[in-house]
Each structure stands twice: as structure tokens, then as C-alpha cells.
């Protein structure tokens, strides 16, 4: 159990348990971040060592994720301190403890990513992170008319994990089979792939969230593939709102949101500590999550 000498004696930084991670994701909902209803369980199952809390008299008053995706890449997210305990340095202590713990889990020269709201970017820069690209969240309130489901759209499960992981590895810093299994098979998710002549050309996952649905990832070889996947998601959305987190460095992804008259409702900045991953950004139409990468 780690303690921090800069904190009052009654307070400590320590690992979180599964119930505390559920509380952390609930706090994210209170902040208006609209997490997925299965997020806490998926994140915990993937990396139960990937969370640190700051506690007062063993009551969690803040926490955050430090997810290890592989020996060369980790992600910091879900950084929240309870309102009543903000402004006294506890969040700063927790954040640096999380950064240092995640660095210790990575091999030398590894990279950490995070998505920071604008107000926190200067703080993260002081902590060694460099801004890379803006991510913008768009909301579709009402599904479009005239939607079709292409005959090339199939359930992700029919593709097979090796092919799915091969494709996904072009858009994420490390190969992540274990995560993909949990993410695509989570309860009530819509997980679709675009297959042509036996080749996987795109896939997307739409998961239920506190408000409507969140799509992530949405990867496609072209805007036509991404659009076909997005139309199929709309057909499965039951009329509820859909949210998509789009990177600014893929203009066709922004164009897809404009096609459906989606409204921008949130923005943040993807930042990296260490070498910037080399990804095929032209085919990233929606990032997987802002919470754990």
C-alpha cells in the first residue's frame, strides 16, 4: 500500500477494489461524462490492478484508472476527486502517484496516453504530457431516415478474434485480444463488422450508456465503410441518442458527423507521455473510449 508523505496522516493512496471502481464510474456519470453501463465491470475485468484511490479514513474520496494495455502502452483516465475534497492538493498528489505507478508498470521508453479537458491541459503538460490531437464528442439525437443495413455487415463474433485483433492493431498502440473479447461481447452491446470478399474492412461497437448509446471504436477503411457501420448502429439504437468521439485529424470522420447533423457536445485533448504511437489515423472514425484509451 502506497502512502504519500505530503498528505495528512488520515489520508492515503492505495489500490481500488471492484466496488470502488463501480463508485468511480458512477462519479463519472455525475460529472456528465456518460459512461457505458458495463464500463466498470469491463475495465476491472481487463486490469484489476489498474486503479488507484485516495482515501480518507479508508473512505474513497477520489480515484483514477492507470490501465496497462501492454508493456509499452498504458492509459490514464477517469480522474475524479469528490467535490468536497477539491482544491487542497489531494488531486495533484493522486495524479502524480498514478502517473508514477503506471510508469513503473511499463517497460523503459513506454508511452502513456490520456484525454484531458481543456482546463487541465496545462497541468498535464507540467506532468510531462504533450498535446497531440483534439477529440470531439458528437451527439445524434434522432436517427436518420432511409437507413439501410448493408449485406456486408455481420456480427463481429463471426469474424474471429485473430482477424479482429490484426485489424484493430492498426489503430491502437498495442495488440489487445483480451480487451476486444470483453468489449465486443459486453451485455447488450451492438458489435458489427464490415466484411467484403472475406476481408475485414471495418468494425464498430455500440455500447449502452447512462444516456443512449456510445459508439467506440469505429474503424473503417473508408468513409463508406464507416457510414455503413454507423447506419447499422442507428437501426439498432431503438431511437435513443448516439454519441461518437471523433478525432480531429481524420476530416472524413468529422464529415460523417456533419452528414447526420450531429451536434458537438464535448471536447478534450489526447496527450501522450513518451513517444507518440504510430497509428493509421485516416481510418479512425471514432476512438474506443476516452476513459481507458
The per-residue pLDDT for range 179-188, each reduced to its tens digit, is 999 999 999 9
What distance in Å separates the CA atoms of residue 35 and residue 245, rounded to the nearest whole number?
12
Q: Mean pLDDT by 10-residue block, N- to C-terminus, for the chain (293 residues)?
A: 43 92 96 97 98 91 97 98 83 96 97 97 98 98 93 97 98 98 98 98 98 98 98 97 98 98 98 98 98 97
Cis previous bond, 93, omega within 30 = no
pLDDT value at residue 4: 41
- 65, 92 contact by CB (below 8 A): no
Q: Residue ranges of the domains in the chain?
A: 11-134, 137-267
Give dist(CA 280, CA 2) in Å, integer.
Answer: 38
The model's pLDDT over 127-154, given as tens digits with 9 standing for 90+, comes to: 999 999 999 999 999 999 999 999 999 9
- Given CATH 1.10.10.10, say whether it is the number of domain 11-134: no
Q: Are both 11-134 and 137-267 of the same fold?
A: yes
Selected from 3.30.1150.10, 1.10.3210.10, 3.40.630.10, 3.40.630.30, the CATH number assigned to the domain covering 137-267 reads 3.40.630.30
Amino acid at each position: 500500500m502506497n502512502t504519500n508523505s505530503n498528505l495528512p496522516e488520515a489520508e492515503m493512496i492505495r489500490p481500488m477494489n471492484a466496488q470502488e471502481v463501480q463508485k468511480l464510474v458512477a462519479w463519472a456519470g455525475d460529472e456528465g461524462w456518460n459512461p457505458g453501463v458495463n464500463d466498470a465491470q469491463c475495465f476491472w475485468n481487463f486490469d484489476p490492478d489498474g486503479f488507484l484511490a485516495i482515501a480518507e479514513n479508508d473512505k474513497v474520496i477520489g480515484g483514477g484508472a492507470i490501465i496497462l494495455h501492454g508493456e509499452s502502452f498504458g492509459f490514464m483516465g477517469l480522474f475524479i476527486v469528490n467535490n468536497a475534497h477539491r482544491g487542497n492538493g489531494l488531486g495533484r498528489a493522486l495524479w502524480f502517484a498514478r502517473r508514477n505507478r503506471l510508469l513503473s508498470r511499463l517497460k523503459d521508453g513506454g508511452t502513456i496516453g490520456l484525454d484531458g479537458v481543456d482546463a487541465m491541459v496545462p497541468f498535464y503538460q507540467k506532468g510531462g504530457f504533450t498535446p497531440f490531437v483534439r477529440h470531439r464528442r458528437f451527439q445524434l439525437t434522432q436517427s436518420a431516415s432511409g437507413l439501410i443495413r448493408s449485406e456486408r455487415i455481420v456480427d463481429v463474433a463471426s469474424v474471429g478474434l485473430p482477424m479482429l485483433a490484426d485489424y484493430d492493431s492498426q489503430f491502437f498502440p498495442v495488440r489487445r485480444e483480451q480487451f476486444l473479447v470483453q468489449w465486443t461481447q459486453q451485455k447488450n452491446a451492438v458489435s458489427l463488422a464490415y466484411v467484403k470478399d472475406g476481408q475485414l474492412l471495418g468494425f464498430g461497437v455500440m455500447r449502452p450508456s447512462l444516456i443512449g448509446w456510445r459508439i467506440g471504436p469505429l474503424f473503417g477503411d473508408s468513409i463508406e465503410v464507416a457510414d455503413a457501420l454507423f447506419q447499422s448502429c442507428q437501426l439498432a439504437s431503438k431511437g435513443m441518442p448516439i454519441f461518437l468521439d471523433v478525432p480531429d485529424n481524420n476530416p472524413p470522420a468529422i464529415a460523417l458527423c456533419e452528414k447526420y447533423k450531429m451536434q458537438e457536445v464535448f471536447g478534450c485533448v489526447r496527450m501522450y507521455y513518451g513517444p507518440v504511437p504510430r497509428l493509421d489515423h485516416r481510418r479512425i472514425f471514432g476512438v474506443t473510449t476516452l476513459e481507458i484509451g
